[in-house]
Amino acid sequence: MKKIALVVSALLLSTNVAFALDNIIFKDHSNVALDHAKNAATAENATEVVHHAGAALEHTLSASISAKGLVKSHLDEGAKELQKAIDQGRLGKYNSSISYSQAAVAHISAANSAHEGSH
């Protein structure tokens, strides 16, 4: 009986540790993604948009790995907007790259808010 209690306790502890680690990883990546997306949305030229949107995309995808539900949906949509910002920036279409970056900021912000509401 003691062995069963020990095993159950160990499983619960490892589950809590894994959940906490996922939460920390999500927050780190989503916060960095949001910072870069904001920098892309306020960049002074298309080259800067591409640079910051690329970094934001990398961190958005990393945050999305452990996300679920509404949080994941917003991150996925944010990633799509960031990819469009990169594509438009590479074509030298500054104004549209800024618009896509702004849309990404809205989605990543919404993901962060939804994540906070679920914990």
Q: What is the pLDDT of residues 44-75, one digit of tens each?
A: 999 999 999 999 999 999 999 989 999 999 99
- Count structural domains, the chain: 1
CA–CA separation, 62 and 25 (whole Å): 8
Distance CA 6, CA 47 (A): 56
The structure's pTM equals 0.82
Q: Scanning the structure block, which residue is given the tokens 């994540």?
A: 115
pLDDT of residue 17: 47
> What is the extent of the structural domain holding 45?
2-117
The two structure tokens encoding residue 64: 């999305």
Give residue 11's pLDDT.
47
- Best CA proximity match to 69, nearest among 21, 14, 26, 37: 26
Give the model confidence (pLDDT) of 16-43 as tens digits: 544 555 677 889 999 999 999 999 999 9
For residue 93, the model assigns a pLDDT of 99
Residue found under tokens 């970094």: 55
CATH number, domain containing residue 102: 1.20.120.660
